[in-house]
Amino acid sequence: MDFLKPRYTPMNRRRRIYEGKAKVLYEGPEPGTLIQHFKDDATAFNAKKHEVIDGKGVLNNRISEFVFQNLNDIGVPTHFIRRLNMREQLIREVEIIPLEVVVRNVAAGSLAQKLGIEEGTQLPRSIIEFYYKNDALNDPMVSEEHVTAFGWASPQEIDDIMALAIRVNDFLSGLFLGVGIRLVDFKMETGRLWENDTVRIVVADEISPDSCRLWDIKSNDKLDKDRFRRDMGGLVEAYSEVARRLGILPESEVPNGRGPVLVTSKD
Ligand SMILES: Nc1ncnc2c1ncn2[C@@H]1O[C@H](COP(=O)(O)OP(=O)(O)OP(=O)(O)O)[C@@H](O)[C@H]1O
Ligand SMILES: [Mg+2]
């Protein structure tokens, strides 16, 4: 009864919905689902800096799967359904709220620069910031007033987003602390998920060393995308270290995501 089995759609025949800087979205197998494909592209400073780093997509797919599956398991709603293969995961399609939600525990990056606070200073409490997702405008920081005035999210939705952000921050801080890593800050995206007649806000996109600042607790070594932003090298090694500590990568493995290599004899 082979004809009753769902047909496998080869990647090049799937409908491509969107290609971003780090990921591609394809139409999923069922309505309301998408396939999120992680590329090896690294970009920073609104794509002014760009490189392809072999193996990054594979690592981000695995790390993001791990984080989202755990969030689902503790009752934090997300778009994640399951990982499909080395580079792809099945997700629920949501209407993305055009805000990057940044949660900070320790001063770093733009906060340290703009307010003249030394990088590494513990903040008096966690701070939530909103940035309007708009590459042409360089993702400007906005306030809740802007968010509601321009209708990007309602006051109730902002409350829901902040509650989610705090839960994700608490979960991630503890997760990483347990493996000797300090969660300095992270960015998350949220979206509206419709289920029958109700709509709710869920965590979407990815959570990975591309979107978090992660410092080794003992050495303060950076284990995140700042290695790329600041030309420090060793990005795949750092992401592999995060994956290893989380127990999702065998001790010595550094994936390259290029599949099996044909071994040919030299003579
Ligand atoms: N569940 C989802 N449903 C619909 N869109 C999603 C979902 N999760 C993430 N996205 C969107 O998919 C895209 C992922 O691609 P990528 O991260 O490469 O984009 P990007 O280049 O960073 O661009 P953007 O500025 O839109 O984030 C993003 O636009 C993100 O907002
Ligand atoms: Mg993105």
d(CA 14, CA 26): 6
Is 35 a pocket residue for ligand 1 (Cβ < 6 Å)?
no
How many Å is the Cα radius of gyration of the chain? 19
d(CA 249, CA 108): 28
CATH match of 9-92 with 3.40.190.10 = no
99-154: per-residue pLDDT in tens?
Answer: 999 999 999 999 999 999 999 999 999 999 999 999 999 999 999 999 999 999 99
* For the CA of 41, the nearest atom of ligand 1: 18
Q: Count, in order, helices (H) and strands (E) of the chain.
A: 6, 14
The residue whose C-alpha atom lies closest to atom 10 belonging to ligand 1 is: 205
Q: State the fold for domain 95-245.
A: D-amino Acid Aminotransferase; Chain A, domain 1 (3.30.470)
Q: Which of 19, 21, 56, 89 to mutate to test the pocket of ligand 1 (most atoms within 8 A of CB)?
A: 21
Expressed in angstroms and rounded, the spacing between residue 206 Cα and the centre of ligand 2 is 8
Q: Taking residues 161-181, what's their average pLDDT? A: 98
231-242: per-residue pLDDT in tens?
Answer: 999 999 999 999
186-213: per-residue pLDDT in tens?
Answer: 999 999 999 999 999 999 999 999 999 9
The ligand with the least distance to the CA atom of 39 is 1
| Spatial contact of 190 and 99, defined as CB atoms under 8 Å apart | yes
153-166: per-residue pLDDT in tens?
Answer: 999 999 999 999 99
Q: Which amino acid is at 14?
A: R
Is 94 a pocket residue for ligand 1 (Cβ < 6 Å)?
yes
Give the start-to-end residue ranges of the domains of the chain: 9-92, 95-245
pLDDT category at 267 given cuts 50, 70, 90 is very low
The ligand with the least distance to the CA atom of 139 is 1
Q: State both tokens at 151.
A: 């209708």
Is 19 a pocket residue for ligand 1 (Cβ < 6 Å)?
no
Q: Which residues of 69-89 are buried (b: 16+ CB within 10 A; e: fewer)?
A: ebbbeeebbbbbbebbebbbb
* For the CA of 25, the nearest atom of ligand 1: 12
Instruction: State the DSSP H helix or E strand holding residue 88, giving kind and residue range, or none if neither.
Output: strand 88-92
Tell me the CB-side half-sphere exposure of residue 42, using CA atoms within 13 A: 25
pTM above 0.75, yes or no: yes
The residue whose C-alpha atom lies closest to atom 23 belonging to ligand 1 is: 20
